[in-house]
Structure 1
Amino acid sequence: MSARTISATVEMSVPAAEAFRYLCDPRNRPEWQSSLLSVEVPADEEPHLGQTWRERTAVGVRPHMETTVLTPFRVWAERGHWRGVSATLELHFTERPGGCRVRATGEVAGRGLWSLPAGAAGLMASAAIAADLRKAGRILEASGGA
């Protein structure tokens, strides 16, 4: 198995609680995550530990996802898998004057024939996540919060 580490940090001009509520809800993901076309999760299901959903990406990948950590306004994490590729993502929220800092960490890994595509995805993931988090911050700023 090969794995690539993911890391990105973004400053947002909204409180950590607002950023947390918005980012941890899978229903919001297609709005701010550039690679997503849709998510399959009940429309009235609130985010919770153990929540599962399925994503449909622009490149045809349809991973199964699960919330693995949900510590309100501080940490949220997920894991996903599709065929021979698995990924984890953890978001850490820290209050700062005028808003919050969101730090993303994680890993993309692949087994067997999936090692090469997972490695390629992992190479681009940190920059993509940073761009997506900046977009989420702009959406939150424009809407006045989640």
Structure 2
Amino acid sequence: MARSVRFDVPAEVAFAYLVDPHHRAEWQSSLRRVEDVRPGLPAVGQRWVDVTVPGLRPQMETTVLEAPHRWTEVGSWHGIDAELTLDFVPDGAGCRVTPTFTVTGRGPARLPAYVVDKVAVLGVYPDLRTAAKILAGRD
């Protein structure tokens, strides 16, 4: 069963913050920065490059944007594809954000992708808790 992270801000506020690639390096521990973000508000088809701490540079794209309920991004890097979906559910004055994360690989990348798929979602929860703390401090 997927776990969720509690945000003490409305779903609209959490959604706007989390889906904007410009904010990602503030709360996502694996990122140094994002590059090549298309200008404008987040939208389906928006693309950017994640520059990760180990130096990987996956190409990212928003594929689902149903404000303020669901957002999905996909990323690709050397035969490995990752998909992250965030579901937002109101919870009192705040909301709950539930991540779903899958990693798949092609060819020689199948085995490493399988291993990453089994453990990578565990890193998503601390990152979402960091984002929740950042937003709670912006009252």
> TM-score, normalization: structure 1?
0.88
* Structure 1, gaps ≥5 residues long: 1-6
Q: Do 2:75 and 2:83's aligned partners in 1 also have CA atoms closer than 8 Å?
A: yes
Percent identity between the two aligned chains: 44
Once the two structures are TM-superposed, the CA of residue 106 in structure 1 deviates from its matched residue by: 2.7
**1:9 Cα deviation after fit:** 1.5
Shift of 1:60: 1.7
- CA RMSD, 1 decimal: 1.4
The number of residues matched between the two structures is 138
Work out whether residues 21 and 37 of structure 2, in 8 Å CA contact, stay in contact via their aligned partners in 1. no
Higher relative contact order (CA 8 A, sep 6+): 1
CA distance in 2, matches of 1:127, 1:14: 23
Contact 1:70 1:76 in 2 (8 A): yes
Q: Does 1:103 align with 2:98?
A: yes
Q: Partner residue of 1:49?
A: 44
Secondary structure of 2:99's counterpart equals strand
The 5 A counterparts of 1:34-73 are: 34-42=29-37, 44-73=39-68
Q: Structure 2 regions of 5+ residues with no counterpart?
A: none
Residue 138 of structure 1: CA displacement?
Answer: 0.3
1:92 to 65, 80, 87: 87
Could you tell which deviates more after superposition, 120-129 or 75-84?
Answer: 120-129
Separation of aligned partners in 1, 2:120 and 2:3: 9
* CA distance in 1 between partners of 2:122 and 2:14 (Å): 19
* Cα distance change on mapping 1:45 and 1:11 into 2, 3 Å: same
Equivalences for 1:75-90 in 2 at 5 Å? 75-90=70-85
Give the deviation of 1:120 after TM superposition. 2.7
Q: Post-superposition, which runs of at least 4 consecutive aligned residues in structure 1 deviate over 6 A? A: none
CA deviation vs aligned residue, 1:62-99 (integer Å, no higher than 9, x gap): 10010001111111111110011001111111101131
